Chain A
Amino acid sequence: MDKFTELTAIAAPMPTENIDTDQIIPARFLKTIQRTGLGRNAFAAQRYDADGNEKPDFVLNQEPYRHAEILITYDNLGCGSSREHAPWALLDFGIRCVIAPSFADIFFNNCFKNGILPIRLPREICDELMDDARQGANSRLTVDLERQVIVRPNGETIAFDVDPFRRHMLLEGLDDIGQTMAHDAEITSFEHRPSRAWVPSITIGTVK
Chain B
Amino acid sequence: MPVTTSPRTLFDKIWDDHVVERLEDGTCILYIDRHLVHEVTSPQAFEGLRMSGRRVRRPDATVAVADHNVPTSDRSKPIEEPQSRLQIETLEKNVAEFGVPYFPLRSTSQGIVHVVGPEQGISLPGMTIVCGDSHTSTHGALGSLAFGIGTSEVEHVLATQTILQKPAKNMRVSVEGKVGPGVTAKDIMLAIIGRIGTAGGTGHVIEFAGSAIRDLDMAGRMTLCNMSIEAGARAGLVAPDETTFAYVKGRPFAPKGEAFEQACDYWRSLASDDGAYFDTEVTLAAEEIIPSVTWGTSPQDVLPIDGSVPSPSDEPDPARAAQIQRALDYMGLEAGQKIAGTPVDVVFIGSCTNSRLEDLRAAADVVRGRHVAEGVRAMIVPGSGLVKHAAEAEGLDKVFLDAGFEWREAGCSMCLGMNPDRLTPGQRCASTSNRNFEGRQGPDGRTHLCSPAMAAAAAVTGRLCDVRELVKETV
Contacts and interface: CB of A to CB of B under 8 A. Distances in A.
Q: Which 3 A-B pairs have the closest CB atoms?
A: A33-B43, A31-B83, A207-B101
Chain A facing B: main interface SS: loop
A81 to B, nearest CB: 5
Nearest to A31: B83
Nearest to B42: A33
A201 interface: yes
Interface of B: 1, 17, 20-21, 23, 25, 27, 29, 31, 33, 40-41, 43-44, 47, 52, 54, 57, 59-63, 68-69, 81, 83-84, 86-87, 90, 99-104, 107, 109, 122, 124, 127, 132-134, 148-153, 155-156, 159-162, 164, 198-199, 202-203, 229, 232, 234, 252-255, 259, 262-263, 266, 298, 319-320, 323, 416-418, 425, 435, 437-440, 443-444
5 contacts: A22-B437, A32-B83, A82-B133, A82-B150, A208-B103
A202 B435 contact: no
A23 B266 CA distance: 43
A113 B150 contact: yes
Interface of A: 15-18, 20, 22-23, 26-28, 30-35, 45, 50, 74-76, 79-84, 87, 102, 104-106, 109-110, 113-114, 163-165, 176-177, 180-181, 183, 186-187, 190-191, 195, 198-204, 206-208
A39 B416 CA distance: 20
Given A83-B41, A113-B150, A207-B101, A180 B160 contact: yes
A100 B200 CA distance: 16
Given A17-B320, A30-B69, A187-B20, 4 more contacts: A32-B83, A105-B202, A204-B60, A207-B102
A163 B25 contact: yes
Nearest to B24: A165
Contacts of A33: 43-44, 47, 86-87, 90
A92 to B, nearest CB: 13
Contacts of A15: 319
Contacts of B109: 207-208
Contact of A202 (B60, B156, B440): B60
Contact of B161 (A18, A113, A187): A187
Nearest to A1: B152
A110 to B, nearest CB: 4
Contact of A187 (B99, B162, B440): B162
A195 B1 CA distance: 10
Nearest to B91: A33
A200 B254 contact: yes
Contacts of B234: 105
A55 B70 CA distance: 32
B2 to A, nearest CB: 13
A27 B416 contact: yes
Nearest to B166: A163
A81 B68 CA distance: 12
Given A198-B266, A207-B101, A177 B156 contact: yes
A204 B61 CA distance: 10
B87 A176 contact: no
Contacts of B439: 22-23, 26, 45
Given A23-B439, A27-B417, A31-B69, A177 B160 contact: yes
Nearest to A123: B319
A84 B202 contact: no
Given A22-B440, A33-B47, A176-B156, A106 B149 contact: yes
Contacts of B62: 202
Nearest to B418: A27
Contacts of A76: 198-199, 202, 232
Nearest to B90: A33
Contacts of A208: 103-104, 107, 109
B122 A202 contact: yes
B31 A187 contact: yes
